Chains A and B, each alone.
Chain A
C-alpha cells in the first residue's frame, strides 16, 4: 500500500481476515499484518528460507494451489513440530527457535503464526455457542448473533461432517449410552450429531474406482485424507481447498474486493495512540518489526483492529502501555480438556462397523460430537501416530501409569505410558477411538496472561501465562470423562485409557479481553477509541464448551458493521 490504509488489522488468523473481507466489501481500505509466513503465495516461493522479493500481496492471482500443495507436506513432524514445524508459533525461518512464552507448568500451547493462523492446523469444527451460555451472560443476546452465524456458515461454507468408520462407531457408542441424534444448529439439550465443519462435502466421485485418488484430490470436495491438522492442500485451486481455513476462504475473498492487502512476516510491537483533549485516547497506528530483517517502522490508520489471539492481543495492549484495566489479560479460559481412548478388538468392530479396524486417521480428524449443555461436550479425534502418542500417552497431570495405584476402577490405564506399555497401546492404534472431553470452563480472574517482568524477546516483554481450573470446571470435566468412558465401555471397548491431561493444554484459548470489561458490545475498547478486537479474547466466556472459531468469525462480521457505521 502506497498511502495509509483506513484500517489496520493485526493478525491474519481466525478473525482478522473475516473483518478485513467485510470492511473491504464496504469500500474501506485495509492492511492486514501477520507475524508468520504465507504458504501458497507466489511472492514467497520459499517462505521458510528467505524473505522473498515482495513485502505484501493484494492480488488474488498471487495465490497458487500447486505451490500450496508442495509446501504443505502433510508429514506430522514437518508440519506440526512445536519447535521447528511449519505450523508453529514462531517466525517463518524455521532454523530459529519458536517465540517463547513463559508458562511455568506442563504445557501444550497450540498456536500457529502464518496467514490463516490457528485455522491452518484446526479441525474446522464450526459450531455455534450454546444459547444458554450467551443469553443472560453476555452483554449481547444469542439472537443478535444468529444472522452473523448464518452469514459465516454460508461464506466458509459449513456442512455437517460425513460419516466414516470412527464416526459410525461414535454414534453407536452414543446410542448405547442412551443419547439420541440432535438435528440442530442451536443446541439446547444433550445429544449427538455430526460436527458442523468448515469442510466441503466429499467429492461425488470419491467412492468411484474409475477415478484415481490423485484425480479426486485435484477436484472439489473432501477426500477424507485425515490431514486436517497437517493442513489440507486438496482441491482444484487455492481458494477451493477442502478445509476452509481462513487463508483459503476469507483471505482470497478479501483480496478480491480490491481493498485489502496482506503483509506476512511482520510482527506488531506497539499500538500508537494520541490524546484528544475532548475524547481521551485514540488509536492512530502501530509500530512493526520485520521478522526477517529486524527493520522497524510506523504505520498509520484511522482505526486499528487487534486480532492477534488470546495471548498476543493482551500482551500487545500491555507492551503498548495502553490505559490500565484490571481485566486486560484476565479471565483466560481453555475448556479444561481431557482425552479418553478406547481400544477395541477386531470381532467387536466387525460386528458394529463391518470392518476389523477403525483407522482413526481416515476422514475428518474430528467429525462427531456429543453436546451436553451445562457440562460441555465430547468429540472424537483421530490424529496421526506421533501427535496421538504425544497427547494421549505423554502429557498428563496424573504422572506415570506404572507408578500409579494398581487397581483403577474405571480405566485400564491412566497417565503417561512408557516402554513396553506404550508399545502395546500404540500397537492397537488402528483399533482406537479417542474421545476428547471439552469442558464448559468457568471464567476466573486469576487465570491470566501478563508480562514477564524479567524476560524480553525481540518484540518486547514476553507473555507469562497462568491457568488453574475452578472447582466447578473440575467437577464438570470429571462428569464428562465418566460419560465418555461409559460410551466406550458400552460400545464394547476392551481397554480404556484416560490421559488425564494437565490444565495447561491450550487449544481453545478465550476471554482474555472480555466484552463488557475491556471492550464494549461492538468490540471497541472502552478506554481507547478507534481500537477494536476481532479474536477469541473478546469472548465474555467459554461459550458453554463449543469450539470458539465460528463465534469469533460471527462477531468479527458484526464488528465490521459497527466499525464502518461509526467511522466511515
Chain B
C-alpha cells in the first residue's frame, strides 16, 4: 500500500526538490504519501449498530488504483514497465507518470468496470469520484502546507506535532510563513462613513 501511495504522490506533486546548495529532497522524504494515507483512514466515521467506527479508505483505495491500472494495461490504454521503481507496489506503481494520471482520469470518469472494485468502491461511482478528487487535493495540500515540516512528529496526534524546520513547500514558493503583519498599507480608497454620509444626502 505504501508503494502505491508513493507512486501516486510521485505522479501528482513535483518529484525532487533542490533548495540552495543542499542535497535534493526526495518527495518520499517529505512523506506526502503518509499524509494521504492518514487523511483517507480518518475521513469517514459512522455508526454501525452500537459502535462508532472509522472506515479505513487507504487500503481499498490502493487496491482500486491497482485494479484500474490493470484494466488499462489489459485494454492497451497503458503500459506496465518491467522495471520496479516502487518495490512492493502493484500494477499502478509500474506505470509511467503519464499513465498513472491517465488511470486517475479514467477512474474519475468511471471509464471501466466498477464491479471489479473492492468495497466500499464497488459500483459506487459517487464515492469513486469523491475520493479521486480528494487524492489530488490531499497531495497538494500535504506538499505545499507546513505538514512535511512536522518531521518526525508528522503522524503524532495533531496537538502533539511540532515544527522541526521551515516547510520546504513554503521555501520553494517564497511564502514567509506565519506573520505578525506587513507594512504594505497603501491607503483607503473609500471609507464607510464617507459613503454612508453621501447616501444620506
Q: Interface of A with B (CB < 8 Å)? A: 46, 48-49, 73-78, 81, 83-85, 94-100, 102-108, 153, 157-160, 162-165, 167-168, 171, 181, 183-186, 193-194, 196, 201-202, 206-207, 209, 213-214, 216-217, 223-227, 234, 357, 359, 361-363, 384-390, 393-395, 399-400, 402-403, 416, 418-420, 422-423, 426-427, 429-430, 455-458, 462, 502
Contacts and interface: CB of A to CB of B under 8 A. Distances in A.
Interface stretch (B42-50, B70-78, B81-89): B42-50
A160 B195 contact: yes
Given A48-B159, A97-B45, A162-B187, 10 more contacts: A94-B159, A104-B126, A163-B185, A183-B194, A185-B192, A209-B183, A224-B182, A386-B145, A400-B105, A455-B46
A399 B101 CA distance: 10
Contacts of B46: 100, 455-457, 462
Nearest to B54: A97
11 contacts: A100-B43, A105-B126, A157-B192, A196-B192, A201-B188, A363-B182, A384-B175, A389-B141, A395-B133, A400-B101, A418-B12
B152 to A, nearest CB: 16
Given A159-B192, A186-B199, A456-B46, A223 B136 contact: no
B173 A429 contact: yes
B108 A420 contact: no
B147 interface: yes
Given A48-B158, A160-B192, A426-B173, A389 B140 contact: yes
Contact of B182 (A159, A184, A362): A362
B55 to A, nearest CB: 9
A48 B160 CA distance: 11
Nearest to A108: B137
B189 A181 contact: yes
Contact of B180 (A162, A217, A363): A217
A213 B198 CA distance: 35
A534 to B, nearest CB: 25
B179 interface: yes
Nearest to A391: B137
A357 B176 CA distance: 13
Contacts of A163: 185-189
B184 A164 contact: yes
A103 B195 contact: no
A399 B137 CA distance: 13
Interface of B: 11-15, 38-39, 42-47, 52, 54, 97-98, 101-102, 104-105, 108-109, 124-127, 129-130, 132-133, 136-137, 139-147, 157-159, 161, 163, 169-170, 172-176, 178-192, 194-196, 198-199
Max chain A C-beta neighbours (<10 A), residue from B169, B187, B192: B192
Contact of B144 (A165, A363, A386, A457): A386
Max chain B C-beta neighbours (<10 A), residue from A98, A162, A167, A385: A385
B190 A160 contact: yes
Given A183-B198, A416-B136, A429-B174, A216 B43 contact: no
Given A95-B157, A106-B130, A224-B184, A430 B173 contact: yes
B162 to A, nearest CB: 11
- Which A-B residue pairs are the 3 nearest by beta carbons? A104-B126, A223-B181, A386-B145
Nearest to A222: B181
Contacts of B185: 162-164, 202, 206-207, 224
Given A99-B45, A423-B14, A386 B181 contact: no
A430 B172 CA distance: 11
A83 B43 contact: yes
Nearest to B150: A77
B57 to A, nearest CB: 10
Given A108-B137, A394-B137, A181 B180 contact: no
Contacts of A168: 186
B174 to A, nearest CB: 5
A47 to B, nearest CB: 10
Contacts of B129: 104-106
Max chain A C-beta neighbours (<10 A), residue from B137, B181, B195: B181
A395 B167 CA distance: 23
Nearest to B191: A160
Contacts of B180: 213-214, 216-217, 223, 225, 234
B141 A77 contact: yes
Contact of A388 (B43, B144, B158): B144
Contacts of B196: 185
Contacts of A357: 174
A276 B54 CA distance: 42
A226 B182 CA distance: 8
Given A105-B126, A389-B140, A400-B101, A77 B187 contact: no
Max chain B C-beta neighbours (<10 A), residue from A46, A183, A502: A183
A97 B130 contact: no
B178 A84 contact: no
Nearest to B176: A361
Nearest to A76: B145
A48 B173 CA distance: 31
A65 to B, nearest CB: 15
A100 B44 contact: yes
A418 B13 contact: yes
B188 A422 contact: no
A402 B179 CA distance: 36
B45 A96 contact: yes
Contact of B43 (A98, A202, A395, A422): A98
Contacts of A73: 178
Contacts of A74: 178-179
A399 B105 contact: yes
Given A98-B43, A194-B189, A103 B141 contact: no
Contacts of B146: 75-78, 386
B70 to A, nearest CB: 20
Contacts of A108: 137
